[in-house]
A and B are shown apart, each in its own frame.
Chain A
Amino acid sequence: MTAVAVSEAAYVSRPLRGRLRVSTAWLGAAPFLLYTGLFLFLPTVLVAVGAFSGPHGPTLANLARLSQPYVVSAFLNSLVLSAVSASVGAVVGSVLAYAVATGSPDGILRRLVTAFCGVLSQFGGVTLAFAFIATIGTEGFIVIWLQQHGIRFYPNGVWLFSLTGLTLIYTYFEIPLMVIVFMPALDGIRPQWREATETLGGGTWHYWRHVAGPLLMPAFLGAWLLLFANAFSAYATAAALLDIGGVIVPLQISRALSSEVGLDQANFAAALALGMVVIVAIITVLYARLQRRSARWLPR
Protein backbone atom coordinates (compact mmCIF):
# COMPACT_ATOMS: atom_id res chain seq x y z
CA MET A 1 0.00 0.00 0.00
CA THR A 2 2.67 2.53 1.00
CA ALA A 3 4.99 1.29 -1.72
CA VAL A 4 2.26 1.86 -4.31
CA ALA A 5 1.54 5.33 -2.96
CA VAL A 6 5.24 6.25 -3.10
CA SER A 7 5.72 5.02 -6.66
CA GLU A 8 2.56 6.82 -7.78
CA ALA A 9 3.74 10.01 -6.13
CA ALA A 10 7.03 9.62 -8.01
CA TYR A 11 5.07 9.19 -11.23
CA VAL A 12 3.31 12.47 -10.64
CA SER A 13 6.36 14.55 -9.78
CA ARG A 14 8.68 12.97 -12.34
CA PRO A 15 7.82 14.98 -15.48
CA LEU A 16 10.22 17.53 -16.99
CA ARG A 17 8.18 20.60 -16.15
CA GLY A 18 8.02 19.21 -12.60
CA ARG A 19 6.54 21.86 -10.35
CA LEU A 20 4.23 23.47 -12.83
CA ARG A 21 2.65 20.18 -13.75
CA VAL A 22 2.01 19.13 -10.17
CA SER A 23 0.33 22.44 -9.39
CA THR A 24 -2.00 22.20 -12.41
CA ALA A 25 -2.82 18.58 -11.55
CA TRP A 26 -4.09 19.71 -8.14
CA LEU A 27 -6.45 22.09 -9.89
CA GLY A 28 -8.37 19.09 -11.24
CA ALA A 29 -9.96 18.68 -7.83
CA ALA A 30 -10.79 22.37 -7.51
CA PRO A 31 -14.45 22.25 -8.69
CA PHE A 32 -15.17 19.37 -6.32
CA LEU A 33 -13.46 21.05 -3.39
CA LEU A 34 -15.16 24.35 -4.12
CA TYR A 35 -18.57 22.70 -4.26
CA THR A 36 -18.21 20.63 -1.11
CA GLY A 37 -16.69 23.67 0.58
CA LEU A 38 -19.82 25.71 -0.21
CA PHE A 39 -22.51 23.11 0.40
CA LEU A 40 -20.99 20.74 2.95
CA PHE A 41 -18.43 22.61 5.04
CA LEU A 42 -20.06 26.02 5.03
CA PRO A 43 -23.37 24.61 6.42
CA THR A 44 -21.46 22.64 9.06
CA VAL A 45 -19.49 25.72 10.07
CA LEU A 46 -22.68 27.78 10.10
CA VAL A 47 -24.23 25.30 12.55
CA ALA A 48 -21.18 25.39 14.82
CA VAL A 49 -20.92 29.19 14.70
CA GLY A 50 -24.69 29.65 15.02
CA ALA A 51 -24.76 27.61 18.20
CA PHE A 52 -22.43 30.11 19.86
CA SER A 53 -23.83 33.38 18.56
CA GLY A 54 -26.70 35.54 19.68
CA PRO A 55 -28.15 38.92 18.71
CA HIS A 56 -25.35 40.67 20.63
CA GLY A 57 -22.30 38.69 19.55
CA PRO A 58 -20.83 35.45 20.90
CA THR A 59 -22.77 33.79 23.70
CA LEU A 60 -23.32 30.54 25.53
CA ALA A 61 -27.02 31.28 26.02
CA ASN A 62 -28.14 28.91 23.23
CA LEU A 63 -26.30 26.01 24.78
CA ALA A 64 -27.69 26.94 28.19
CA ARG A 65 -31.18 26.61 26.75
CA LEU A 66 -30.42 22.93 26.08
CA SER A 67 -30.81 22.30 29.83
CA GLN A 68 -34.49 23.32 29.82
CA PRO A 69 -36.70 20.40 30.92
CA TYR A 70 -38.53 20.03 27.58
CA VAL A 71 -35.24 19.91 25.66
CA VAL A 72 -33.73 17.38 28.05
CA SER A 73 -36.82 15.18 27.75
CA ALA A 74 -36.64 15.45 23.94
CA PHE A 75 -33.03 14.23 24.04
CA LEU A 76 -33.99 11.42 26.44
CA ASN A 77 -36.93 10.42 24.24
CA SER A 78 -34.66 10.38 21.19
CA LEU A 79 -32.05 8.25 22.97
CA VAL A 80 -34.59 5.73 24.31
CA LEU A 81 -36.42 5.54 20.96
CA SER A 82 -33.14 4.96 19.13
CA ALA A 83 -31.85 2.41 21.64
CA VAL A 84 -35.05 0.35 21.69
CA SER A 85 -35.62 0.36 17.93
CA ALA A 86 -31.92 -0.34 17.26
CA SER A 87 -31.94 -3.29 19.70
CA VAL A 88 -35.10 -4.88 18.32
CA GLY A 89 -33.94 -4.17 14.77
CA ALA A 90 -30.49 -5.64 15.40
CA VAL A 91 -31.77 -8.87 16.96
CA VAL A 92 -34.60 -9.53 14.49
CA GLY A 93 -32.50 -8.30 11.56
CA SER A 94 -29.61 -10.63 12.36
CA VAL A 95 -32.03 -13.58 12.59
CA LEU A 96 -33.39 -12.71 9.14
CA ALA A 97 -29.87 -12.17 7.80
CA TYR A 98 -28.89 -15.61 9.13
CA ALA A 99 -31.87 -17.22 7.39
CA VAL A 100 -30.87 -15.52 4.13
CA ALA A 101 -27.15 -16.21 4.49
CA THR A 102 -27.67 -19.94 4.99
CA GLY A 103 -29.65 -20.09 1.73
CA SER A 104 -28.34 -20.14 -1.84
CA PRO A 105 -25.92 -17.22 -2.36
CA ASP A 106 -27.22 -16.53 -5.87
CA GLY A 107 -30.88 -17.48 -5.36
CA ILE A 108 -33.87 -15.36 -6.29
CA LEU A 109 -34.99 -15.26 -2.63
CA ARG A 110 -31.76 -13.66 -1.52
CA ARG A 111 -31.82 -11.09 -4.32
CA LEU A 112 -35.46 -10.24 -3.55
CA VAL A 113 -34.81 -9.86 0.17
CA THR A 114 -31.73 -7.70 -0.47
CA ALA A 115 -33.54 -5.43 -2.94
CA PHE A 116 -36.54 -5.18 -0.62
CA CYS A 117 -34.30 -4.33 2.33
CA GLY A 118 -32.58 -1.69 0.20
CA VAL A 119 -35.87 0.06 -0.52
CA LEU A 120 -37.22 -0.10 3.01
CA SER A 121 -34.03 1.07 4.71
CA GLN A 122 -33.58 3.93 2.22
CA PHE A 123 -37.07 5.03 1.42
CA GLY A 124 -38.61 5.03 4.86
CA GLY A 125 -39.98 8.28 6.09
CA VAL A 126 -43.35 9.61 5.06
CA THR A 127 -44.40 6.51 3.15
CA LEU A 128 -43.89 4.33 6.20
CA ALA A 129 -45.90 6.61 8.43
CA PHE A 130 -48.82 6.30 6.02
CA ALA A 131 -48.34 2.57 5.66
CA PHE A 132 -48.85 2.17 9.40
CA ILE A 133 -51.76 4.60 9.46
CA ALA A 134 -53.39 2.41 6.77
CA THR A 135 -52.61 -0.73 8.80
CA ILE A 136 -53.25 0.07 12.45
CA GLY A 137 -54.58 3.62 12.36
CA THR A 138 -58.08 4.14 13.71
CA GLU A 139 -59.43 3.41 10.19
CA GLY A 140 -56.70 0.86 9.50
CA PHE A 141 -57.04 -2.48 7.79
CA ILE A 142 -56.22 -4.64 10.83
CA VAL A 143 -58.20 -2.50 13.26
CA ILE A 144 -61.37 -2.71 11.13
CA TRP A 145 -60.90 -6.42 10.38
CA LEU A 146 -60.53 -7.22 14.09
CA GLN A 147 -63.51 -5.02 14.88
CA GLN A 148 -65.66 -7.09 12.53
CA HIS A 149 -64.66 -10.12 14.60
CA GLY A 150 -65.48 -8.41 17.87
CA ILE A 151 -61.91 -7.65 18.97
CA ARG A 152 -60.73 -4.17 19.88
CA PHE A 153 -57.17 -3.48 18.70
CA TYR A 154 -56.77 -0.51 21.02
CA PRO A 155 -58.38 -1.46 24.35
CA ASN A 156 -56.36 1.21 26.20
CA GLY A 157 -56.44 4.05 23.67
CA VAL A 158 -54.64 4.58 20.37
CA TRP A 159 -50.85 4.39 20.81
CA LEU A 160 -49.85 4.62 17.12
CA PHE A 161 -49.47 8.40 17.20
CA SER A 162 -47.12 8.36 20.19
CA LEU A 163 -43.54 7.31 20.91
CA THR A 164 -44.67 3.67 21.10
CA GLY A 165 -46.03 3.81 17.57
CA LEU A 166 -42.92 5.62 16.41
CA THR A 167 -40.73 2.86 17.90
CA LEU A 168 -42.71 0.19 16.04
CA ILE A 169 -42.38 2.05 12.73
CA TYR A 170 -38.65 2.62 13.29
CA THR A 171 -38.08 -1.12 13.71
CA TYR A 172 -39.71 -1.50 10.30
CA PHE A 173 -36.76 0.27 8.66
CA GLU A 174 -34.13 -0.83 11.19
CA ILE A 175 -34.58 -4.56 10.49
CA PRO A 176 -33.83 -4.25 6.73
CA LEU A 177 -30.86 -1.99 7.44
CA MET A 178 -29.50 -4.60 9.86
CA VAL A 179 -29.84 -7.29 7.18
CA ILE A 180 -27.77 -5.20 4.74
CA VAL A 181 -25.10 -4.22 7.25
CA PHE A 182 -24.78 -7.57 9.00
CA MET A 183 -24.88 -9.86 5.96
CA PRO A 184 -21.18 -9.52 5.05
CA ALA A 185 -20.20 -10.67 8.55
CA LEU A 186 -22.47 -13.74 8.27
CA ASP A 187 -21.12 -14.49 4.79
CA GLY A 188 -17.66 -14.52 6.37
CA ILE A 189 -18.53 -17.48 8.60
CA ARG A 190 -16.83 -20.60 7.29
CA PRO A 191 -18.39 -24.07 7.64
CA GLN A 192 -14.95 -25.33 8.69
CA TRP A 193 -15.34 -23.54 12.04
CA ARG A 194 -18.42 -25.57 12.81
CA GLU A 195 -16.75 -28.76 11.66
CA ALA A 196 -13.74 -27.97 13.84
CA THR A 197 -16.06 -27.40 16.82
CA GLU A 198 -17.74 -30.74 16.20
CA THR A 199 -14.42 -32.56 15.81
CA LEU A 200 -13.49 -31.21 19.22
CA GLY A 201 -16.78 -32.56 20.63
CA GLY A 202 -18.73 -29.29 20.82
CA GLY A 203 -22.45 -28.99 20.08
CA THR A 204 -24.56 -26.17 18.65
CA TRP A 205 -24.51 -24.29 21.94
CA HIS A 206 -20.70 -24.46 22.22
CA TYR A 207 -20.35 -23.33 18.63
CA TRP A 208 -22.45 -20.18 19.11
CA ARG A 209 -21.17 -19.46 22.60
CA HIS A 210 -17.44 -19.91 21.99
CA VAL A 211 -16.81 -19.64 18.23
CA ALA A 212 -19.38 -17.83 16.09
CA GLY A 213 -20.73 -15.58 18.86
CA PRO A 214 -17.44 -13.93 19.87
CA LEU A 215 -16.39 -13.59 16.22
CA LEU A 216 -19.65 -11.93 15.21
CA MET A 217 -19.88 -9.71 18.30
CA PRO A 218 -17.85 -6.70 17.04
CA ALA A 219 -19.74 -6.72 13.73
CA PHE A 220 -23.05 -7.00 15.60
CA LEU A 221 -22.26 -4.13 17.97
CA GLY A 222 -21.00 -2.02 15.08
CA ALA A 223 -24.24 -2.64 13.21
CA TRP A 224 -26.19 -1.75 16.36
CA LEU A 225 -24.41 1.61 16.54
CA LEU A 226 -25.20 2.29 12.89
CA LEU A 227 -28.85 1.48 13.53
CA PHE A 228 -28.82 3.71 16.58
CA ALA A 229 -27.40 6.64 14.63
CA ASN A 230 -29.91 6.00 11.86
CA ALA A 231 -32.88 6.12 14.22
CA PHE A 232 -31.43 9.06 16.10
CA SER A 233 -31.20 11.23 12.99
CA ALA A 234 -34.51 10.13 11.40
CA TYR A 235 -37.02 12.94 10.98
CA ALA A 236 -39.55 12.26 8.21
CA THR A 237 -41.61 9.53 9.91
CA ALA A 238 -42.02 11.49 13.10
CA ALA A 239 -42.91 14.66 11.21
CA ALA A 240 -45.57 12.88 9.18
CA LEU A 241 -46.96 10.86 12.09
CA LEU A 242 -47.02 13.17 15.09
CA ASP A 243 -49.13 16.30 15.23
CA ILE A 244 -47.60 17.64 18.41
CA GLY A 245 -44.08 18.96 17.84
CA GLY A 246 -40.94 18.65 19.87
CA VAL A 247 -41.26 15.12 21.24
CA ILE A 248 -37.84 14.13 19.85
CA VAL A 249 -34.81 16.26 19.01
CA PRO A 250 -35.29 16.42 15.20
CA LEU A 251 -38.83 17.71 15.80
CA GLN A 252 -37.45 20.30 18.23
CA ILE A 253 -35.07 21.47 15.52
CA SER A 254 -37.83 21.71 12.95
CA ARG A 255 -40.01 23.66 15.38
CA ALA A 256 -37.19 26.07 16.18
CA LEU A 257 -36.40 26.52 12.46
CA SER A 258 -39.96 27.20 11.37
CA SER A 259 -40.90 29.33 14.36
CA GLU A 260 -41.26 33.02 13.63
CA VAL A 261 -41.64 34.12 17.23
CA GLY A 262 -38.13 34.68 18.55
CA LEU A 263 -35.30 36.02 16.41
CA ASP A 264 -32.92 33.80 18.29
CA GLN A 265 -34.68 30.59 17.28
CA ALA A 266 -32.28 29.90 14.40
CA ASN A 267 -29.37 29.93 16.83
CA PHE A 268 -31.27 27.67 19.21
CA ALA A 269 -31.81 25.25 16.29
CA ALA A 270 -28.07 25.36 15.68
CA ALA A 271 -27.40 24.54 19.34
CA LEU A 272 -29.80 21.55 19.14
CA ALA A 273 -28.12 20.43 15.93
CA LEU A 274 -24.71 20.70 17.58
CA GLY A 275 -25.99 18.49 20.41
CA MET A 276 -27.02 15.87 17.85
CA VAL A 277 -23.67 16.11 16.07
CA VAL A 278 -21.80 15.47 19.33
CA ILE A 279 -23.84 12.31 20.04
CA VAL A 280 -23.49 11.03 16.47
CA ALA A 281 -19.74 11.77 16.54
CA ILE A 282 -19.29 9.64 19.66
CA ILE A 283 -21.18 6.80 17.96
CA THR A 284 -19.08 7.14 14.80
CA VAL A 285 -15.82 6.86 16.73
CA LEU A 286 -17.03 3.73 18.56
CA TYR A 287 -18.26 2.31 15.25
CA ALA A 288 -14.89 2.84 13.53
CA ARG A 289 -13.15 0.98 16.38
CA LEU A 290 -15.50 -2.00 16.17
CA GLN A 291 -15.18 -2.05 12.39
CA ARG A 292 -11.41 -2.38 12.70
CA ARG A 293 -11.84 -5.36 15.03
CA SER A 294 -14.26 -7.25 12.80
CA ALA A 295 -12.25 -6.38 9.65
CA ARG A 296 -9.45 -8.62 10.97
CA TRP A 297 -11.20 -11.83 10.02
CA LEU A 298 -13.70 -10.73 7.37
CA PRO A 299 -12.74 -11.84 3.85
CA ARG A 300 -11.95 -8.92 1.58
Chain B
Amino acid sequence: MDKLTLTRQNKNRIVATLILLVPAAIQCFPLLYLLCVSSKKGGEVIQYPPRLLPEQLTLINYQEALSSAPLLRFLLNSALVATSITFLQVFTSVLAAYALSRLEFKGQRWVMALIVGTMMIPGEVTIIPNYFTLASWNWLNTYPALILPFSVSGFGIFLLYQFFKTIPKELEEAAMLEGCSRLRFLFQFMVPLSLPAITAFAIYSFVGAWNQYLWPLIVTQSTEMQTAQIGIGMFRSQNESMSWGVIMAATAMLISPTVLLFIATQKQFVRGITMSGIKG
Protein backbone atom coordinates (compact mmCIF):
# COMPACT_ATOMS: atom_id res chain seq x y z
CA MET B 1 0.00 0.00 0.00
CA ASP B 2 2.74 2.41 1.01
CA LYS B 3 4.81 1.70 -2.05
CA LEU B 4 1.77 1.90 -4.29
CA THR B 5 0.71 5.34 -3.06
CA LEU B 6 4.28 6.56 -3.25
CA THR B 7 4.62 5.68 -6.91
CA ARG B 8 1.20 7.05 -7.68
CA GLN B 9 2.14 10.25 -5.92
CA ASN B 10 5.27 10.47 -8.00
CA LYS B 11 3.27 9.82 -11.12
CA ASN B 12 0.94 12.69 -10.21
CA ARG B 13 3.89 14.96 -9.59
CA ILE B 14 5.38 14.12 -12.98
CA VAL B 15 2.06 14.73 -14.72
CA ALA B 16 1.64 18.06 -12.92
CA THR B 17 5.16 19.11 -13.88
CA LEU B 18 4.60 18.17 -17.52
CA ILE B 19 1.28 20.05 -17.69
CA LEU B 20 2.99 23.17 -16.43
CA LEU B 21 5.85 23.07 -18.92
CA VAL B 22 4.04 24.77 -21.78
CA PRO B 23 2.41 27.59 -19.76
CA ALA B 24 5.70 28.12 -17.92
CA ALA B 25 7.54 28.45 -21.22
CA ILE B 26 4.96 30.93 -22.52
CA GLN B 27 5.06 32.86 -19.27
CA CYS B 28 8.82 33.36 -19.30
CA PHE B 29 9.18 33.80 -23.05
CA PRO B 30 8.57 37.59 -23.18
CA LEU B 31 11.19 38.16 -20.49
CA LEU B 32 13.79 35.93 -22.13
CA TYR B 33 13.02 37.46 -25.50
CA LEU B 34 13.55 40.91 -23.97
CA LEU B 35 16.98 39.92 -22.73
CA CYS B 36 17.91 38.35 -26.07
CA VAL B 37 16.76 41.22 -28.27
CA SER B 38 18.34 43.80 -26.00
CA SER B 39 21.73 42.11 -26.21
CA LYS B 40 21.84 41.77 -29.99
CA LYS B 41 23.84 43.99 -32.29
CA GLY B 42 21.92 46.52 -34.40
CA GLY B 43 21.30 44.68 -37.66
CA GLU B 44 20.84 41.29 -36.09
CA VAL B 45 17.57 42.30 -34.43
CA ILE B 46 15.65 42.66 -37.67
CA GLN B 47 17.31 39.71 -39.38
CA TYR B 48 14.97 37.18 -40.93
CA PRO B 49 14.52 34.43 -39.97
CA PRO B 50 15.09 35.71 -36.42
CA ARG B 51 17.44 33.80 -34.19
CA LEU B 52 16.44 33.62 -30.57
CA LEU B 53 19.94 33.83 -29.16
CA PRO B 54 22.26 36.66 -30.13
CA GLU B 55 25.32 35.71 -32.16
CA GLN B 56 27.42 37.99 -30.07
CA LEU B 57 26.43 39.41 -26.72
CA THR B 58 26.67 43.15 -26.53
CA LEU B 59 25.82 45.80 -23.97
CA ILE B 60 25.89 48.56 -26.53
CA ASN B 61 22.08 48.86 -26.58
CA TYR B 62 22.08 49.43 -22.85
CA GLN B 63 24.67 52.18 -23.19
CA GLU B 64 22.72 53.78 -25.99
CA ALA B 65 19.44 53.59 -24.07
CA LEU B 66 21.05 55.26 -21.07
CA SER B 67 22.37 58.08 -23.20
CA SER B 68 19.13 58.63 -25.13
CA ALA B 69 16.81 59.05 -22.14
CA PRO B 70 17.21 59.87 -18.44
CA LEU B 71 16.37 56.31 -17.37
CA LEU B 72 17.92 56.69 -13.94
CA ARG B 73 15.94 59.84 -13.39
CA PHE B 74 12.75 57.97 -14.31
CA LEU B 75 13.60 55.25 -11.81
CA LEU B 76 14.47 57.77 -9.11
CA ASN B 77 11.19 59.59 -9.74
CA SER B 78 9.26 56.32 -9.48
CA ALA B 79 11.12 55.36 -6.33
CA LEU B 80 10.59 58.76 -4.72
CA VAL B 81 6.90 58.90 -5.61
CA ALA B 82 6.13 55.29 -4.68
CA THR B 83 8.05 55.48 -1.39
CA SER B 84 6.38 58.74 -0.40
CA ILE B 85 2.91 57.42 -1.24
CA THR B 86 3.58 54.23 0.71
CA PHE B 87 4.92 56.11 3.71
CA LEU B 88 2.06 58.61 3.76
CA GLN B 89 -0.61 55.93 3.25
CA VAL B 90 0.79 53.82 6.08
CA PHE B 91 1.11 56.83 8.36
CA THR B 92 -2.38 58.24 7.74
CA SER B 93 -3.90 54.74 7.89
CA VAL B 94 -2.30 54.01 11.26
CA LEU B 95 -3.63 57.24 12.75
CA ALA B 96 -7.11 56.92 11.29
CA ALA B 97 -7.43 53.21 12.04
CA TYR B 98 -6.45 53.82 15.65
CA ALA B 99 -9.02 56.58 16.05
CA LEU B 100 -11.73 54.43 14.50
CA SER B 101 -10.94 51.21 16.32
CA ARG B 102 -9.97 52.46 19.78
CA LEU B 103 -11.38 55.90 20.49
CA GLU B 104 -14.99 56.81 21.09
CA PHE B 105 -16.44 59.87 19.47
CA LYS B 106 -19.63 61.10 17.93
CA GLY B 107 -20.09 60.26 14.26
CA GLN B 108 -17.62 57.37 14.35
CA ARG B 109 -19.87 55.13 12.26
CA TRP B 110 -20.41 57.83 9.67
CA VAL B 111 -16.72 58.44 9.29
CA MET B 112 -16.11 54.72 8.87
CA ALA B 113 -18.88 54.43 6.27
CA LEU B 114 -17.50 57.45 4.42
CA ILE B 115 -13.99 55.99 4.31
CA VAL B 116 -15.17 52.57 3.16
CA GLY B 117 -17.40 54.31 0.61
CA THR B 118 -14.44 56.09 -0.97
CA MET B 119 -12.95 52.68 -1.79
CA MET B 120 -15.72 52.21 -4.32
CA ILE B 121 -14.97 55.34 -6.33
CA PRO B 122 -12.80 54.47 -9.33
CA GLY B 123 -9.89 56.79 -10.05
CA GLU B 124 -11.27 57.78 -13.45
CA VAL B 125 -14.15 59.56 -11.74
CA THR B 126 -11.86 61.91 -9.85
CA ILE B 127 -9.07 62.66 -12.33
CA ILE B 128 -10.71 65.51 -14.22
CA PRO B 129 -11.56 67.70 -11.20
CA ASN B 130 -8.27 66.74 -9.52
CA TYR B 131 -6.38 67.88 -12.59
CA PHE B 132 -8.15 71.24 -12.45
CA THR B 133 -7.56 71.57 -8.70
CA LEU B 134 -3.83 71.00 -9.09
CA ALA B 135 -3.68 73.27 -12.14
CA SER B 136 -5.32 76.06 -10.17
CA TRP B 137 -2.73 75.61 -7.40
CA ASN B 138 0.01 75.66 -10.07
CA TRP B 139 1.10 72.24 -8.92
CA LEU B 140 1.12 70.40 -12.24
CA ASN B 141 4.40 68.74 -13.10
CA THR B 142 5.57 68.62 -9.48
CA TYR B 143 6.20 65.76 -7.06
CA PRO B 144 3.34 66.78 -4.75
CA ALA B 145 0.96 66.42 -7.72
CA LEU B 146 2.12 62.84 -8.14
CA ILE B 147 2.02 62.05 -4.43
CA LEU B 148 -0.56 64.05 -2.54
CA PRO B 149 -3.81 62.83 -4.14
CA PHE B 150 -2.79 59.29 -3.13
CA SER B 151 -1.57 59.97 0.37
CA VAL B 152 -4.62 58.32 1.95
CA SER B 153 -5.93 54.83 1.30
CA GLY B 154 -9.42 53.89 2.41
CA PHE B 155 -8.41 50.31 1.96
CA GLY B 156 -5.34 50.69 4.21
CA ILE B 157 -7.46 52.23 6.95
CA PHE B 158 -9.97 49.40 6.68
CA LEU B 159 -7.27 46.71 6.79
CA LEU B 160 -5.48 48.19 9.81
CA TYR B 161 -8.81 48.88 11.52
CA GLN B 162 -9.57 45.17 11.37
CA PHE B 163 -6.11 44.28 12.61
CA PHE B 164 -6.15 46.78 15.48
CA LYS B 165 -9.46 45.30 16.63
CA THR B 166 -7.72 41.97 17.28
CA ILE B 167 -5.25 43.51 19.75
CA PRO B 168 -6.64 43.08 23.27
CA LYS B 169 -8.01 46.25 24.87
CA GLU B 170 -6.69 45.15 28.27
CA LEU B 171 -3.18 45.77 27.03
CA GLU B 172 -3.98 49.40 26.41
CA GLU B 173 -5.80 49.83 29.72
CA ALA B 174 -2.86 48.37 31.58
CA ALA B 175 -0.43 50.63 29.74
CA MET B 176 -2.55 53.66 30.48
CA LEU B 177 -2.65 52.81 34.18
CA GLU B 178 1.13 52.83 34.03
CA GLY B 179 0.86 56.39 32.72
CA CYS B 180 1.44 55.69 29.04
CA SER B 181 -0.27 58.20 26.75
CA ARG B 182 -2.51 57.03 23.92
CA LEU B 183 -0.16 58.19 21.20
CA ARG B 184 2.83 56.59 22.86
CA PHE B 185 0.85 53.37 23.17
CA LEU B 186 -0.05 53.55 19.50
CA PHE B 187 3.52 53.92 18.30
CA GLN B 188 5.23 51.79 20.93
CA PHE B 189 2.80 48.88 21.10
CA MET B 190 0.08 48.88 18.45
CA VAL B 191 2.39 49.55 15.52
CA PRO B 192 5.02 46.93 16.40
CA LEU B 193 2.27 44.39 17.17
CA SER B 194 0.64 45.07 13.81
CA LEU B 195 3.85 44.93 11.83
CA PRO B 196 2.76 41.94 9.69
CA ALA B 197 -0.39 43.77 8.57
CA ILE B 198 1.47 47.04 8.11
CA THR B 199 4.22 45.41 6.03
CA ALA B 200 1.66 43.61 3.93
CA PHE B 201 -0.22 46.81 3.28
CA ALA B 202 3.00 48.75 2.61
CA ILE B 203 3.98 46.26 -0.10
CA TYR B 204 0.53 46.38 -1.66
CA SER B 205 0.58 50.16 -1.57
CA PHE B 206 4.09 50.37 -3.05
CA VAL B 207 3.22 48.10 -5.97
CA GLY B 208 0.09 50.09 -6.72
CA ALA B 209 1.94 53.41 -6.56
CA TRP B 210 4.87 52.17 -8.65
CA ASN B 211 2.55 50.86 -11.36
CA GLN B 212 0.36 53.96 -11.70
CA TYR B 213 -0.07 55.10 -15.25
CA LEU B 214 -3.00 57.38 -16.04
CA TRP B 215 -2.47 60.03 -13.38
CA PRO B 216 1.31 60.46 -13.88
CA LEU B 217 0.69 60.59 -17.64
CA ILE B 218 -1.65 63.52 -17.16
CA VAL B 219 0.20 65.58 -14.57
CA THR B 220 3.79 65.22 -15.75
CA GLN B 221 4.69 67.49 -18.61
CA SER B 222 8.47 67.52 -18.70
CA THR B 223 10.69 64.51 -19.21
CA GLU B 224 12.55 64.99 -15.94
CA MET B 225 9.36 64.64 -13.89
CA GLN B 226 8.22 61.42 -15.54
CA THR B 227 8.09 58.11 -13.71
CA ALA B 228 9.41 54.90 -15.25
CA GLN B 229 5.97 53.85 -16.49
CA ILE B 230 5.51 57.09 -18.41
CA GLY B 231 9.12 57.56 -19.46
CA ILE B 232 9.10 54.26 -21.33
CA GLY B 233 6.49 55.78 -23.67
CA MET B 234 9.31 57.89 -25.15
CA PHE B 235 10.73 54.73 -26.61
CA ARG B 236 7.38 53.72 -27.97
CA SER B 237 6.73 56.95 -29.82
CA GLN B 238 10.26 57.39 -31.13
CA ASN B 239 10.56 53.86 -32.37
CA GLU B 240 10.96 54.96 -35.99
CA SER B 241 14.43 56.25 -35.38
CA MET B 242 15.47 54.01 -32.54
CA SER B 243 16.61 50.43 -32.87
CA TRP B 244 14.54 47.72 -31.22
CA GLY B 245 17.59 46.59 -29.32
CA VAL B 246 17.77 49.97 -27.60
CA ILE B 247 14.04 50.01 -26.86
CA MET B 248 14.20 46.57 -25.30
CA ALA B 249 17.33 47.51 -23.33
CA ALA B 250 15.50 50.51 -21.88
CA THR B 251 12.53 48.31 -20.96
CA ALA B 252 14.83 45.76 -19.35
CA MET B 253 16.46 48.43 -17.19
CA LEU B 254 13.15 49.96 -16.15
CA ILE B 255 11.52 46.68 -15.13
CA SER B 256 14.53 45.15 -13.42
CA PRO B 257 14.21 46.95 -10.05
CA THR B 258 10.71 45.64 -9.33
CA VAL B 259 11.42 42.21 -10.78
CA LEU B 260 14.50 41.84 -8.58
CA LEU B 261 12.62 43.24 -5.60
CA PHE B 262 9.90 40.69 -6.22
CA ILE B 263 12.34 37.78 -6.40
CA ALA B 264 14.08 38.95 -3.22
CA THR B 265 10.91 39.51 -1.18
CA GLN B 266 8.52 37.03 -2.79
CA LYS B 267 7.16 35.68 0.49
CA GLN B 268 6.24 39.06 1.99
CA PHE B 269 5.10 40.20 -1.42
CA VAL B 270 2.63 37.34 -1.78
CA ARG B 271 1.45 37.75 1.79
CA GLY B 272 0.99 41.47 1.21
CA ILE B 273 -1.21 40.84 -1.76
CA THR B 274 -3.23 38.00 -0.24
CA MET B 275 -3.81 39.85 3.03
CA SER B 276 -5.03 42.79 1.06
CA GLY B 277 -7.41 40.42 -0.64
CA ILE B 278 -9.43 40.04 2.54
CA LYS B 279 -11.35 43.08 1.44
CA GLY B 280 -13.66 40.92 -0.69
**Bound together:** no
Chain A residues packing against B (C-beta within 8 Å): none
Chain B residues packing against A (C-beta within 8 Å): none
